[in-house]
Every structure is written in C-alpha cells, then in structure tokens.
Amino acid sequence: AAGVIQSPRHLIKEKRETATLKCYPIPRHDTVYWYQQGPGQDPQFLISFYEKMQSDKGSIPDRFSAQQFSDYHSELNMSSLELGDSALYFCASSATGGYTFGSGTRLTVV
C-alpha cells in the first residue's frame, strides 16, 4: 500500500541557512500535517493543510512556512536555521481510519 513519502531522509545545514522538506501524502488523503520532534521529546504539531488551504497552526516559528501544492504534496520551508531546529520532522496524512506518518526527515543544524 502507498505510504507517506518524505524527502530527504537526512539533511545537514549550517546555522542561518535555509532548508526545504518535502512530503507526498497518501493519494486521496485530504489533510496533511507537519510535526517536529526534538531529541527525547514527543512530536509537536506545527501546521496542517486541508484541500491545499492552511487549516490549523501550532507552535511554528515565524521563520518556518509551509504550503500544499495542486498535486497535494507539501513543503516545509525553514529559514535562518538555528541549532535548536535540529530535530526529526514528520509529515502525516489522514483519512477515515487514522493518521499515517512518513519516515521523517532528520535535520541537523551545525
């Protein structure tokens, strides 16, 4: 069965650089979510999109932005990276029957 696809799997950036993470949801799932998981923490909700419109927003820094495109894939853009942005970033999509998470992007800021 198709899953949620995230790319890249790993990313190393320097402070103050910009990073773009991509997510391809399961076909016909109408909502996409982004989560951030710091070391030893639980995943924290960042932002979600329903039918390409932003539907909810969590504790997402102003340096981060996201959008969902016409083909339903989503991108999370992070600028002016800080050491504290180092984390696992998950994308998930949902339909009736629950949420499915991608394998995540591990971002390391050095």
Partner 1 sequence: GIQVEQSPPDLILQEGANSTLRCNFSDSVNNLQWFHQNPWGQLINLFYIPSGTKQNGRLSATTVATERYSLLYISSSQTTDSGVYFCAVEGSGGSNYKLTFGKGTLLTVNP
Contacting positions for partner 1 (CB under 8 A): 31, 33, 37, 42-45, 48, 50, 55-56, 58, 88, 90, 92, 97-101, 103-104, 106
Residue 21 CB, nearest distance to partner 1 (Å)?
A: 14
Residue 29 CB, nearest distance to partner 1 (Å)?
A: 13
Instruction: For residue 85, give the 3-state DSSP assignment.
Output: helix
Give whichever of 2 and 16 is closer to partner 1, judged by the CB atom: 2
Residue 98 CB, nearest distance to partner 1 (Å)?
A: 4
Give whichever of 75 and 95 is closer to partner 1, judged by the CB atom: 95
Q: How many CB atoms lie within 10 A of CB 108?
A: 13
Give whichever of 65 and 99 is closer to partner 1, judged by the CB atom: 99
Residue 80 CB, nearest distance to partner 1 (Å)?
A: 25
Instruction: For residue 60, give the 3-state DSSP assignment.
Output: coil
Give whichever of 48 and 68 is closer to partner 1, judged by the CB atom: 48
